[in-house]
Chain A
Amino acid sequence: MLWWLVLARLRLDATLLILALAAPSGVAGDIAYVTCQNGNTLSVLDLDSGREIARWSVPGQPAGIAVSANGEVFTVAPDSKTVRRHAHDTGAVLAEVRLDGGPMGIAHDPQRDRLFVSDWYNARTWVLDAVSLEVIGELPVGTAPAGLDLSDDGRFLAIAGRDANQVYIFEVDSLELRHQLDVGTRPFGLRFAPDGRLFVSNVGSNDVSVLDPVSGGLLATVPVGDRPYGVTFAAGRAFVSNQYEDTVSVISLDQLQHEAKIAVGEYPEGIDSTADRQTVVVTNWFENTVTLIDANTLSVIKELQTGDGPRAFGDFLLEGKT
Chain B
Amino acid sequence: MRRSQFLMLSVAAGMFPAMALAHGPTRQKTKVTVVVAAEPGDVWAAIGNFQDMSWHPVVHSSTGEGANAIDATRVLTLGDADGRTISEVLYKFSDEKMSYSYRITEVEVEVLPVTNYSSHLTVKPRDGGGSLIEWRGAFYRGFPNNDPPEHLNDEAAIVAVNGVYQAGLDALVARFGAPEA
As a 0/1 sequence over residues 27 to 67 of chain B, the CB contacts with chain A under 8 angstroms (1 = contact) are 11100000000000000000000000000000000000000
As a 0/1 sequence over residues 218 to 253 of chain A, the CB contacts with chain B under 8 angstroms (1 = contact) are 000000001000000000000000001000000000
The count of chain B contact residues (Cβ–Cβ below 8 Å) is 14
Closest CB in chain A relative to B77 CB, distance in Å: 26
Is there contact, CB below 8 Å, between B26 and A37? yes
Is there contact, CB below 8 Å, between B21 and A163? yes
The answer to whether the Cβ of B25 comes within 8 Å of any Cβ in the partner chain is: yes
Known: A144-B21, A244-B91. A63 touches B145 (CB 8 A): no
Taken together as a complex, chains A and B put the C-alpha atoms of A32 and B157 apart, in Å, by 31
Known: A244-B91, A267-B138. A120 touches B26 (CB 8 A): no
The interface of chain B, by Cβ under 8 A from chain A, is 21-22, 25-29, 91, 118, 136, 138, 145-146, 154
24 contacts across the A-B interface (CB closer than 8 A): A37-B26, A37-B27, A38-B28, A61-B26, A63-B26, A78-B25, A79-B25, A79-B26, A79-B154, A120-B22, A121-B22, A121-B146, A143-B21, A144-B22, A162-B22, A163-B22, A186-B21, A244-B91, A244-B118, A267-B138, A285-B27, A285-B29, A286-B29, A309-B29
Is there contact, CB below 8 Å, between B25 and A61? yes
Taken together as a complex, chains A and B put the C-alpha atoms of A163 and B145 apart, in Å, by 13
Which 10 A-B pairs have CB atoms at the shortest separation, nearest pair first?
A78-B25, A163-B21, A121-B146, A61-B26, A144-B22, A102-B146, A37-B26, A79-B26, A163-B22, A286-B29
A-B contact count (CB 8 A): 44
Taken together as a complex, chains A and B put the C-alpha atoms of A163 and B144 apart, in Å, by 13
Nearest B-chain residue to A37, judged by Cβ:
B26
The count of chain A contact residues (Cβ–Cβ below 8 Å) is 22
> Which residues from B are CB-within-8-Å of A144?
21-22
Interface residues of A in 93-150 (CB under 8 A from B): 101-102, 104, 120-121, 143-144
Nearest B-chain residue to A144, judged by Cβ:
B22
Taken together as a complex, chains A and B put the C-alpha atoms of A17 and B137 apart, in Å, by 38
> Which residues from B are CB-within-8-Å of A78?
25-26
Which residue in A38, A162, A267 is a CB contact (below 8 Å) of B26? Answer: A38
Taken together as a complex, chains A and B put the C-alpha atoms of A41 and B75 apart, in Å, by 39
Closest CB in chain A relative to B91 CB, distance in Å: 7
Besides A79-B154, A121-B146, A162-B22, 6 other A-B contacts (C-beta < 8 A): A38-B29, A63-B25, A78-B25, A102-B25, A144-B21, A285-B27
